[in-house]
Amino acid sequence: MVETAAQATLATYPSALSRRRGRVARLLKMARRKPLGAISLAIILLIIFTALAADVIAPADPNRMFPGQQLQGPNAVHWLGTDNFGRDILSRVIFGTRISLAVGVAAVVFGVATGALLGLISGYLEGVFDLVVQRLLDALMSLPAIVLALAIVAAIGPGVLNVMVAVGVSQIPLASRVARGSVLAEKHNVYVDAARVIGCGASRILLRHLLPNVTAPILVLATVTLASAIILEASLSFLGVGLPATEPSWGGMLSQNARRWMLVQPNIAIWPGVAITLSVFSWNLLGDALRDLWDPRLRGAT
- Model pLDDT for residues 70-113, shown as the tens digit of each residue: 888 888 888 998 888 889 999 999 999 998 888 889 999 999 99
Q: Tell me which of 20 and 218 has the higher pLDDT.
A: 218
Count of C-beta atoms within a 10 Å radius of residue 38: 18
Residue 206 included in any domain? yes
Residue 24 included in any domain? no
Render pLDDT for 227-237 as a digit per residue (tens, 0 to 9): 888 888 888 88
Q: In the chain, what is the straight-line distance between the N-terminal and C-terminal CA atoms, in Å? A: 54
pLDDT reported for residue 114: 92
β-pair partners for 82: 88
Q: What is d(CA 174, CA 183) in angstroms, rounded to the nearest whole number?
A: 14
Render pLDDT for 174-217 as a digit per residue (tens, 0 to 9): 889 888 888 888 877 777 777 777 877 777 787 777 887 788 88
Distances (CA, A) of 23 to 10, 16, 215: 21, 11, 22
pLDDT reported for residue 21: 66
Lowest model confidence (mean pLDDT) among 1-5, 132-136, 152-156, 261-265: 1-5
Q: Tell me which of 94 and 300 has the higher pLDDT.
A: 94
Q: What is d(CA 100, CA 231) in angstroms, rounded to the nearest whole number?
A: 9
pLDDT reported for residue 22: 62
Q: What is d(CA 216, CA 210) in angstroms, rounded to the nearest whole number?
A: 12
**pLDDT above 80 (res 155):** yes
Are 94 and 58 in contact by the 8 Å Cβ rule? The answer is yes
Answer left, alpha or beta for residue 205, where phi above 0 means left and psi between -120 and 50 means alpha.
Answer: alpha
Q: How confident is the model at residue 161 (pLDDT cuts 50, 70, 90)?
A: confident
**DSSP annotation of 159:** S
Q: What is d(CA 196, CA 193) in angstroms, rounded to the nearest whole number?
A: 5
Residue 37 included in any domain? no
Q: Tell me which of 7 and 170 has the higher pLDDT.
A: 170
Residue 16 included in any domain? no
pLDDT reported for residue 13: 47
Give the mean pLDDT of the chain: 82
SS3 31: helix
**pLDDT above 80 (res 139):** yes
Residue 9 included in any domain? no
**pLDDT above 60 (res 1):** no
CATH number, domain with residue 270: 1.10.3720.10
Structural domain for 169, as ranges: 43-65+78-298
Q: At what angle do helices 211-238 and 145-156 cross, to 10 degrees?
A: 70
Percent of the chain surpassing pLDDT 90: 15
Count of C-beta atoms within a 10 Å radius of residue 163: 27
Maximum C-alpha span of the chain = 79
pTM of full prediction above 0.85: no
Residue 19 included in any domain? no
Render pLDDT for 34-74 as a digit per residue (tens, 0 to 9): 788 788 889 999 999 999 999 999 999 998 899 888 888 88
Residue 258 included in any domain? yes
Are 34 and 293 in contact by the 8 Å Cβ rule? The answer is yes
How many domains are there within the chain?
A: 1
Render pLDDT for 114-134 as a digit per residue (tens, 0 to 9): 998 898 888 888 888 888 988
Q: Region 141-149: what's the mean pLDDT?
A: 87
Q: Give 76: exposed, middle or buried? Use CB within 10 Å, 0-12, 13-18, 19+.
A: exposed
Residue 31 included in any domain? no
Q: Region 17-45: what's the mean pLDDT?
A: 75
CA count, 13 A, side-chain hemisphere, 173: 15
